[in-house]
Amino acid sequence: MNFNQLRDYQLTVVESILSSLTKGNKRVVMCLPTGGGKTRIFTYMVKRHLNKNGKVLVLTDRIELLKQAGGSFDSFGIEPELIIAGSKPDLTLACHVAMVETLSRRATDYATFIQTRTMIILDECHKATFDKLFPYFNDNTFVIGATATPYRSGKQPSLDQFYTDIIQVIDTPELIKKGFLSDAETYGLPIDLSGIKKKGGDYDLNDMANRYEERKVYQGVIENYNRICPNSKTLAFASNIESSKSLCSKMLSSGLNARHLDSTMTNYERVETLDWFKTVKDGILCNVGILTTGFDQPDVETVILYRATTSLPLFLQMVGRGSRTTETKQRFTILDFGNNIKTHDFWEANRTWTLNKVVKKKKDVAPVKSCPKCNAMLSKQTPKCNYCGHVFRKTPKEQKEEQIAMLIRLPKKERLIIANRSDLITKAEMAKAKLISPFWVLHNMSNKQDAIEFCNLMGYKLGFVHHNKQRFKVFE
């Protein structure tokens, strides 16, 4: 496919951003799921802007992203000047790509340069590392933040302090339906996270790593990898370097083709490891955070979450590494060993984003369940496992909920007939669901003990029964 030709929804994103800018929104967030083509879209906009004699600055926060942006620029015939550590760039040129930390250190010296940029792109703009540069931006500069997860939590300032509009044209379910993202098969084994310390709003990484090692969670990883997705190209995300190295070592001992990658390795070691992973069909790459964003390897078939996180963006970024499609791949596998699906819902769930912080309810647990036979993660309403065919037996609570749902659809007259034939517990449940009136139930009772029991079930004071002599004369 010609790289210069955007998909229909990508053109819609461009049109929506331009419309927002025309309305006076100088700072706009472009929200698109991982694999949806954010880099392609903003590179198209950069090319368009340069053709109108604009001056562009693209900001990123890691080497992998810098290389990815450079690759897309080449496809559009753009040759950006790089601003990286140790460089002496020509600031008179029209297009620059900069590492955010490098530019931050030079911000005072480069203040005039930044002020003269007419368009600034921030890749992965949900990260707070970009915030410190906003005071240097010209008020008339078009600022476009690109991210799959425009979400801030904890003490981080919300994105509405930096942007005035957000563009979200399409979400993951529709991209899967259109064939632009892979569908996911999700499996998970529960782990006891109680007692693990919290640090900065998320689980303490060292404490978590120790728990995983103590519980020998790696055994479940290896067993389920061999059972569910053997010989598949895999990315495994661990909580810290020692945990990643340990998992890698255990995999190698089990005969799996695994290697480890982390940020402390030399540039040569990182490049060599990534080159190995690109060429090995059954390679398993264990890493610590380094491949959560900006890593584009479409043939990744499995993502292993060998850690837990309370961060929705981090969860989506990790899983998103396996979501890209190829000519031979339309599905990928998620192996969750951190209760992440129960915490955040399925990766492919529909999500509507805002610039404001979203306050989560306490004990916010997604409506999912695990198949006891194959460990597949499923919607709670699923009666039969999509993967192994296991049929779920409804619990008494689920049976009651299903019965209530059925009664809601009935006319009032039929509900009253059913209530008349039901036991006191069902009558109380129907009354609590506002399917019938509790006063109607009491009015039609002829037994004082039944009335007292019904009131207890409803949480009413017993005096209600004893002192309503005028209405309930049978109780005198």
DSSP conformational letter for 391:
B
Q: Which of 449, 32, 279 is nearest to 44 (CA)?
A: 32
**What are residue 401's DSSP bridge partners?**
none
Domain with CATH 3.40.50.300 in the chain: 8-170, 175-379
The pLDDT score that the predictor gives to residue 473 is 42
How far apart CA 214 and CA 152 sit, in angstroms, is 32
Which residues are CB-contacts of 407 (< 8 A; sequence separation ≥ 6)? 415, 418, 430, 433, 435
In CATH, 175-379 is 3.40.50.300: yes
The pLDDT score that the predictor gives to residue 71 is 65
**What are residue 285's DSSP bridge partners?**
235, 259
The pLDDT score that the predictor gives to residue 358 is 67
The answer to whether residues 153 and 201 touch, using CB atoms and an 8 Å cutoff, is: yes
Task: For domain 8-170, give the fold.
Answer: Rossmann fold (3.40.50)
Each residue's pLDDT expressed in tens, for the chain with a length of 476 residues: 344 579 999 999 999 999 999 999 999 999 999 889 998 899 999 999 999 999 999 998 866 555 555 467 878 888 888 898 888 999 999 999 999 999 999 999 999 999 999 999 999 999 999 999 999 999 999 999 999 999 887 788 999 999 999 999 999 999 999 999 999 999 999 999 999 999 988 999 999 999 999 999 999 999 999 999 999 999 999 999 999 999 999 999 999 999 999 989 998 999 999 999 999 999 999 999 778 776 778 999 999 999 999 999 899 999 999 999 999 999 999 999 999 999 999 999 999 999 997 655 444 566 888 888 899 999 888 888 888 889 888 777 767 777 777 778 888 888 888 888 888 888 888 888 888 888 888 888 877 888 888 888 888 876 655 544 444 443 43
pTM of the model: 0.78
The answer to whether residues 335 and 305 touch, using CB atoms and an 8 Å cutoff, is: yes
How far is the first Cα of the chain from the last one, in angstroms, to the nearest whole number? 86
At which residue do the structure tokens 């404490």 appear? 207
